Chain A
Amino acid sequence: MKQRCINCCLSCVLAVLALCLCSARATAQGNQTTPRTADGHPDLSGLWIGRAGANFVPSDDPLAANLASRDATLLNFERDNAIMRRADPNKPLYKPEFWEKVQKLDQNGNTEDPSFGCMPGGVPRMGPPAKIVQTPKELIFLYVSPAAGGWGDTYRVIPTDGRSHTPLDDLDGTWKGESLGHWEGDTLVIDTIGFNDTSWLDITGYFHGENMHVIERMHRDGDTLTWQATVEDPDVLIKSWTMNARTLKRNPDPKAVLAESLPCVERDLSHLVTKEHH
């Protein structure tokens, strides 16, 4: 009898616990507005730029915040921006033999940065996409140039069908590499190899090697999409580098479209007379 009472109490406790859990889950689901596809994954489809019908893609880069300029001068604005970027404690840690190279590239960024001359940004510098089309077996990422960005309209096709990477030696090194996606819970994980060593990771001289491995993670919460990339490059880095996360807002206008980027033709670099840059 005593044992039955204990069992009964246990059952009650478990029932209450289960009820609480169910209630919590229901509450969470009630707040959760992330749509899902038929296969149960979060639906990342949509236009992930901030304003309806605009062809300007607002930056969500925390280091591209609109700084107040000291004395309201453009000179201070540019210089403060440069300092802010380099003061970011989240830096890739290069092996000591590459420290001088990174500094030289940064100091001579006006002529060394491939993106200044209309070359692509490449993965991961190109950041999160402006538009995502999600299908059961692949994701289509569409990119446009940010403001005066030179890389123009570009795309990525990312299989999520469970295939394996092509052996690295069989891949031609490219700007975007070979990307494969898979789901870890509700997070989309994109694994990319097969790069050239021409692109940079950021404006500050952060070069990389051909054996770079990039892991991007994307997670949707309602109308917010978070993107974060981790760079592994044991040839040049002491340890992997996780870049600052970027957060995008879904464009609420169903009629909003991606604007066509202007073609990129560099006219300025031959006129630069100082090494100053952002």
Chain B
Amino acid sequence: MHCGTRSLLAVAGLLMAGMAAWAHHSVQAEFDLNKPITLTGVVTKVEWINPHSYLYLDVKDDSGNLKHWAFEMAGPGALRRAGLSRADRGGLKSGDTITVNAVLAKDGTDSGLIKDVTLPDGRKFTIWTSDPNAR
């Protein structure tokens, strides 16, 4: 477990503080916090943008059809505090197979909000925790 509790809590705090400070859209206006999903797929693109970075993943569904998923994600600063260094971010490059835990979007599209990512080497990085008091 590369990502220690300390960095996890720090990220949670920063994410929450950031949300409160700037207060972009409400998380629950877009995502259903009670609908977790775990998906494994191939990274097709990572966008380091504000107000939220995005990770795109190609995932095969149960029928073998390829689905293009889009996940809202924290920015590079937050990932760095989660213990994911610049070198580590190579683990998020296109072509890598990763596993994400996320919550689903409410609008039924193939999108969600990432909670953690597991890299090909097995290291897991928690980007977001649903407990705002954990900071």
Spell out A's residues near B (CB within 8 Å): 54-56, 58-59, 61, 64-69, 72-78, 81, 110, 116, 118, 145-150, 152, 203, 259, 261-269, 271-278
Contact = CB atoms under 8 A, between A and B. Distances in A.
B105 interface: yes
22 contacts: A59-B20, A64-B17, A64-B20, A66-B20, A67-B132, A73-B130, A73-B132, A75-B28, A77-B132, A81-B20, A110-B25, A146-B21, A146-B22, A147-B14, A147-B15, A150-B50, A264-B51, A265-B49, A267-B70, A271-B106, A276-B26, A278-B26
Contacts of A110: 25-26, 29
A272 B17 contact: no
Contacts of B53: 262
Chain A binding surface SS class = loop
A78 B50 contact: no
Given A58-B21, A267-B47, A277-B29, 20 more contacts: A59-B18, A59-B20, A64-B17, A64-B20, A64-B23, A78-B26, A145-B22, A147-B14, A147-B17, A147-B22, A148-B18, A148-B52, A149-B22, A262-B49, A271-B107, A272-B30, A273-B29, A275-B29, A276-B29, A278-B20
Nearest to B111: A271
B48 A262 contact: yes
A72 B72 CA distance: 22
B134 A72 contact: yes
Contacts of A68: 133
Contact of A72 (B14, B107, B133): B133
A56 B77 contact: yes
A205 B76 CA distance: 31
Interface residues of B, number: 43
B7 to A, nearest CB: 14
Most chain A CB within a 10 A radius of its CB, from B24, B33, B49: B24
Contacts of A77: 16, 132
Given A262-B49, A271-B105, A203 B29 contact: no
Contacts of A72: 131-134
A267 B48 CA distance: 12
Contacts of B125: none
A188 to B, nearest CB: 24
B21 A61 contact: yes
